[in-house]
Amino acid sequence: MSRIILPLVLLVGVGGCVTRQAHQGVVAERDRLTTQNARLQNQIEALEVSTSSLGEELEATLEEHEDLVVAQAECVEEVATLRQSETRLGTRLADQSVELVRSQQELETARAELDRLTATYTTLMSDLESEVASGQIQIEQLREGIRVNVSDEILFASGSTQLDPVGRAVLNKLAEQLLSMDHHIEIQGHTDDRAVRGDLSRRFPSNWELAAARAGEVVRLFQQSGINGERLTLVSFAAYDPIGPNDDAENRAQNRRIEIRLKPRGRSTVGQAESLPSAVMAPE
């Protein structure tokens, strides 16, 4: 009996020792897993913090990207606007360059015309020296022409539209000088403000016709002298372009006139008394 009980005791003792070791192993494994779990939990928390931070950075990056897209669109629009401005400026610069060239050409032309007018003035003063000295003709160089005043006393007799012989001789001599020149010649007829009276009123209902008739006499004389009709222009101003008030006999006599204006060819001369040449006086 004792032989049977001893092995059982030994077996029970051995079985109890194995259980403690297993328990210790389980406890150790538990502690290891607990530590690992804590470490993983820390890693998870760190990852969650990192993920949150990355999410914020991603959101900020997306917002910045959107801002960059908007800025890029604005830059593209600004570049397009600048290119349009550059095109407009280029066009303006080209136009200004053309205008500058044209202005320089006009300046050169004006200088050449001034030289020609000066030469014409000098020639007329020399060739008509005796008429100028006697007071029959007055010659003055203007900005764009030459003014020639012929005394009204030698052009028309009172109440006539026919040239006086003395006035005809003076105009013939003037025509000889104009024949060798190339200026445009405008003959203007002017009267005072009094209505046409006497025999003249039957032929000329108003001062318009009277002024035109007297200017026509000078035009015919110049053309008969050989001046090309293309260079001649006849204009009637009647009493509507006086050089002074019609308040006394002397002023009315000054307003009754034939003005001969010389100007370089190619420019309009009608109605530009302040810048065109010459005047010839004629009484009614």
pLDDT tens sequence across 228-281: 999 999 999 999 999 899 999 888 888 888 888 888 876 544 444 333 333 333
Q: How many CA atoms lie within 13 A of 167 on its CB side?
A: 23
pLDDT recorded at residue 213 = 94
Domain residue ranges of the chain, discontinuous segments joined by +:
111-281
Task: Find out whether 283 and 152 touch, Cβ atoms under 8 Å.
Answer: yes
- Other C-beta atoms closer than 10 Å to the C-beta of 19 total 9
Low-confidence stretches of the chain (pLDDT beneath 70)? 1-18, 151-153, 266-284
For residue 3, which phi and psi values (nearest 5 degrees)?
Answer: -65, -30
pLDDT, tens digit, 9 for 90 and up, residues 197-227: 888 888 999 999 999 999 999 999 999 999 9
pLDDT recorded at residue 114 = 83
CB within 8 Å of 275: residues ≥ 6 apart: 142, 143, 144, 145
pLDDT recorded at residue 274 = 39
pLDDT recorded at residue 278 = 35
**CATH C-level class of 111-281:** alpha beta
- Other C-beta atoms closer than 10 Å to the C-beta of 240 total 12
